[in-house]
């Protein structure tokens, strides 16, 4: 049976850029930009069961005053080589950063990244009649949506509000960046960059409610960003935006507790930038689950980490992304190549994945313009 393979590049500058992907040659061929005014794509992923591309519209709100961003779903027409929006739902809080479909497909979990500049001043009258001012921030929320049978978004059925300290400095505002599900389908983890914490939850499918389980508190300024579960159900890995390092955890599905096993630097000492944020971005697991790959935006690098049998990590390689500010990375469907979306170069660069997990740049940079942020591969039978 013939199949069509595409790559969709989520654009931080606006829209979804569609490319054809030719598996035999490994060539990515640009088609065009869709939804430029409809979506500022923070994250996207392909659901092969429903044949839909889900993506966050990471904006503060429905208008200039806010009101919440959106979760969206898109269909691809392989005959016309087009993308069209299928479903859109306001997620109630600003800057929805990640969508996670739980295994049954009945619910979607959405995290929200409240920006540092979200503070606003309210005039408050006290019970004694005097007036004062209060600084408040937008809600950093984990939102649970029901999903309709056709894959469109239903109503919001539960909301968990995360709180920061409310004081100036790190930890003032929650920045929920990602939520993922473990292989058992029972445990969900949430990275909160703003408060330097990783939370764990359980979902009650019958009631459509989230239950808090536990929280891991990282060092101040670590800023946990993204997480990846080991498919065998033993380990969890997270990267940090505030520091060039990846954590390895042993986790307990029943209790949600996280036991940190190691802290692995992702840059050699001589490459670590001084006086600037490190801004690591993406974190993905190789198809054989033997290596992790992470991007470090400030250094314009991609690092390869080897996963040991005991879940510990060792940095194997650090290579140039061959573009500026690498944000999202993805493997080709056959795992032979790794592609890097370089946010300030407007390019997607291509690397061969060697047998030992190391990367080799092929000298190929696909120029799509704008600010590429993430990559999803789509296979249509």
Q: What is the pLDDT of residues 32-75, one digit of tens each?
A: 999 998 899 999 999 999 999 999 999 876 665 667 899 999 99
d(CA 207, CA 203): 9
Q: Residues 322, 325, 331, 335: is their CA dihedral positive or negative? A: positive
- Please give the helix or strand (H or E) that residue 5 lies within, else none: strand 4-11
Instruction: Please report, in tens digits, the pLDDT of each residue of the chain (381 residues total).
Output: 468 999 999 999 999 999 999 999 999 999 999 999 889 999 999 999 999 999 999 987 666 566 789 999 999 999 999 999 999 999 999 899 999 999 999 999 999 987 655 567 789 899 999 999 887 777 789 999 999 999 999 999 999 999 876 655 566 788 999 999 999 999 999 999 999 999 999 999 999 999 999 999 999 999 999 999 999 999 999 999 999 999 999 999 999 999 999 999 999 988 876 766 678 999 999 999 999 999 999 899 999 999 999 999 999 999 999 999 999 999 999 999 999 999 999 999 999 999 999 999 999 999 999 999 999 999 997
What's phi and psi for 269, nearest 5 deg? -55, -40
Residue 73: inside a domain, yes or no?
A: no
Residue 158 in tokens: 């539960």
Q: Would you say 339 and 359 are in contact if contact means Cβ atoms under 8 Å apart?
A: no
Q: Can you give the pTM of this predicted structure?
A: 0.94
The pLDDT score that the predictor gives to residue 275 is 66
Centroid of chain to Cα 317: 23
**CA-to-CA dists, residue 153 to 22, 45, 168, 272, angstroms:** 32, 15, 37, 42
Return the DSSP state at 175: B
* Domain with 10 in it: 1-39+321-381
The pLDDT score that the predictor gives to residue 299 is 92
Residue 29: inside a domain, yes or no?
A: yes
User: What 3-state class would DSSP assign to 359?
Assistant: strand
Q: What is the domain count for the chain? A: 1
Residue 1: inside a domain, yes or no?
A: yes
Indicate the Cα dihedral angle 100, 103, 106, 107, nearest 10°. Answer: -20
The pLDDT score that the predictor gives to residue 64 is 57
């Amino acid at each position: 049976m013939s199949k069509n393979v595409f790559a969709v590049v989520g654009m931080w500058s606006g829209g979804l850029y569609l490319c054809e992907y030719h598996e035999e040659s490994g060539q990515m061929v640009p088609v065009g930009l869709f939804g430029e005014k409809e979506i500022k794509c923070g994250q996207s992923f392909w659901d092969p069961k429903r044949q839909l591309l889900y993506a966050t519209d990471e904006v503060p709100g429905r208008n200039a005053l806010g009101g919440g961003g959106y979760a969206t779903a898109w269909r691809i027409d392989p005959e016309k080589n087009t993308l069209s929006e299928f479903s859109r739902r306001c997620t109630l809080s600003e800057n929805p950063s990640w969508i996670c479909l739980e295994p049954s497909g009945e619910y979607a979990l959405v995290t929200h990244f409240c920006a540092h500049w979200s503070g606003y001043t309210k005039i408050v009258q006290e019970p004694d009649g005097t007036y004062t001012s209060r600084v408040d921030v937008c809600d950093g929320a984990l939102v649970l949506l029901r999903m309709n049978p056709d894959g469109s978004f239903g109503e919001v059925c539960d909301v968990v509000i995360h709180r920061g300290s409310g004081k100036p400095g790190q930890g003032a505002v929650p920045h929920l960046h990602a939520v993922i599900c473990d292989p058992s389908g029972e445990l969900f983890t949430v990275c909160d960059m703003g408060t330097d914490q990783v939370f764990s939850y359980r979902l009650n499918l019958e009631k459509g409610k989230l239950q808090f389980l536990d929280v891991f508190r990282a060092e101040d300024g670590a800023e946990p960003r993204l997480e990846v579960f080991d498919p065998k159900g033993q380990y969890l890995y997270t990267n940090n935006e505030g520091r060039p390092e990846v954590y390895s955890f042993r986790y307990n599905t029943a209790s949600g507790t996280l036991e940190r096993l190691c802290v692995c630097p992702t840059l050699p000492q001589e490459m670590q930038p001084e006086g600037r944020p490190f801004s690591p971005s993406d974190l993905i697991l190789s198809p054989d689950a033997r290596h992790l790959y992470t991007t470090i935006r400030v250094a314009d690098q991609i690092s390869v980490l080897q996963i040991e049998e005991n879940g510990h990590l060792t940095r194997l390689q650090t290579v140039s992304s061959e573009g500026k500010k690498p944000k999202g990375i993805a493997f080709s469907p056959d795992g032979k190549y790794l592609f890097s979306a370089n946010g300030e170069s407007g390019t997607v660069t291509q690397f061969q994945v060697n047998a030992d997990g190391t990367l080799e740049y092929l000298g190929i940079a696909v120029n799509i313009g704008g600010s590429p942020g993430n990559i999803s591969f789509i296979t249509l039978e």
